[in-house]
Amino acid sequence: MPYIKKTAGKKAPAKRKLAEVFALGEVLTDTSRKEWKLGVPIGQGGFGRLYLADVNSSKSVGSDAPYVVKVEPSQNGPLFTELKFYMRAAKPDEIQKWTKSHKLKYLGVPRYWGSGLHEKSGNSYRFMIMDRFGRDLQKVYEENAKRFAHKTVLQLGLRILDILEYIHEHEYVHGDIKASNLLQSYKNPNQVYLVDYGLAYRYCPEGVHKAYKEDPKRCHDGTIEYTSIDAHKGVAPSRRGDLEILGYCMVHWLSGHLPWEDNLKDPNFVRDSKIRCRDNISELMEKCFPGKNKPDEIRKYMEKVKQLSYEEKPVYPHFREILLQGLKSIGQKDDGVLDFGLSENGDVQTNPVQKMAAEGQSDIMASDMEARMKQRCIIEFLHAEKIAPIDIHRRLLNVYGDQTVDVSTVRRWVVRFSSGDNDLKDKPRSGRPCTAVTPRNEERLNQLIQSNLGITTRELCTELNIGFNALETMVGS
């Protein structure tokens, strides 16, 4: 999370409102008069909500919808800021033109498909339509024992350099590059997109670069472990800052370590550590890669970043060439395939979660575990209401889309409930007995199902009177 420095006498920001839940099938009309139909909610962040979406038609929005709609109350600021970037720099035709002229297979900048204002229940909401994406790389990184393979790190670096060159040429810097802001394509996991432009900064409006100026009120902006030395000093983001942040990311992804990671609550310590490592890059390499096998291309990359002045335009091909030479040195090439297997002692191994799914031993990936646990709660509840498995599955499908457990899993769990083999009964929860599920009001149930994507599994267990710890051990059965 970004570290925000508190300043004396500074007014607290106005309290932001959370967007209300929109109904399935609600139609939004963008500024070009194009209509978009909403599907199921797929998450929320900050004060906005995300929904699956598609171009309006007589059909309902399916679980394979290609778009998402981001909705926030119109008085909130983050989406408005993000919209400025997308409208200036992320129009599909512009991205396609750049991709073709630079001979790229793809460019990892989300495409902007439309936006507008929508009135509901007397309130005004701002919305934006974007491509749908898959998982974020932070989840993948954590599943892989917090390491990425050497080849994967260098290829990610190459793709991110492509992205940065594009947005820099459009007068913006990102300022918050990190694994959680990198999303895999919904259809192609080998394609990665840089998202979250709520903090994007127009560093060069009308071709005039912002002057270097240290502002104590802006010290340490960004994500503390990766943010640039300039940002630590309160200087506005610049192109060299983006490349510096990418350098820290590559070091972290490859080594699993940053020298300042144990002191993130002390931003001045982090700043001073980064300055020492910039002044002595060999020290950074020794701390993160102890032993003989130090990636020389990472050292060269960081040395190249160090040479950049604040307003200097990076020569992006030079940075790419450094990473390409790194691939060559390990007997690899930039083939566009991202291998997210576990990295141990320099060797790539198959991720056991991915292996389980590939062998058909699991119908869910680790990132879907939370959704699976919630579904099991709801299945038991609906079974107690004497609802048939096929109808239970249909209800779940409307909410969870492609994260829904298959109907055979629903039937298997229902059989266990019917036979009395229910490990979720009579288990302790918060130090007191947990009773069996009891029938509840149908309207309350529907509200719960529709809203459960925004609450935790523990809260859902409390609502349905189910033991959380027992549930956690049962989801794979």
List the binding residues: 70
Give the integer Cα–Cα distance in Å for 8 and 11.
9
- Closest by alpha carbon to 79, among 4, 136, 150, 17? 17
R_g over Cα of the chain = 24
**Binding-site residue ranges for ATP:** 70
Give the integer Cα–Cα distance in Å for 49 and 19.
7
Give the integer Cα–Cα distance in Å for 391 and 397.
10
Q: How many CA atoms lie within 13 A of 61 on its CB side?
A: 27
**230 is known as an active-site residue:** no
- Closest by alpha carbon to 384, among 423, 468, 426, 440? 440
Q: Tell me the helix, strand and coil percentages in the chain, rounded to 5.
A: 45, 15, 40
Q: Name the token pair of 325.
A: 């030479």
User: Are the CB atoms for 139 and 305 separated by under 8 Å?
Assistant: no
Q: What are the residues facing 359 on neighbouring strands?
A: none
- Catalytic residue among 30, 176, 230, 368, which? 176
β-pair type (35-45, 48-55): antiparallel
Give the integer Cα–Cα distance in Å for 236 and 362.
47
- Closest by alpha carbon to 153, among 133, 137, 164? 137
Give the integer Cα–Cα distance in Å for 134 and 125.
25
- Closest by alpha carbon to 128, among 173, 97, 84? 84
Give the integer Cα–Cα distance in Å for 132 and 378.
26
DSSP string, 238-257: -HHHHHHHHHHHHHHHHHS-
Instruction: Report how far apart, in Å, the C-alpha atoms of 37 and of each of 19, 28, 91, 119 are.
Output: 17, 6, 21, 15
User: Are the CB atoms for 282 and 289 separated by under 8 Å?
Assistant: no
Q: What are the residues facing 43 on neighbouring strands?
A: 50
- Closest by alpha carbon to 327, among 183, 168, 152, 147? 152
Q: What are phi and psi of 333, to 5 degrees?
A: -140, 165
Give the integer Cα–Cα distance in Å for 226 and 244.
8
Q: Which helix (H) or strand (E) holds 72?
A: strand 67-73
Instruction: Report how far apart, in Å, the C-alpha atoms of 313 and of each of 108, 304, 337, 426 are.
Output: 21, 12, 30, 65
Write out the catalytic residue numbers.
176
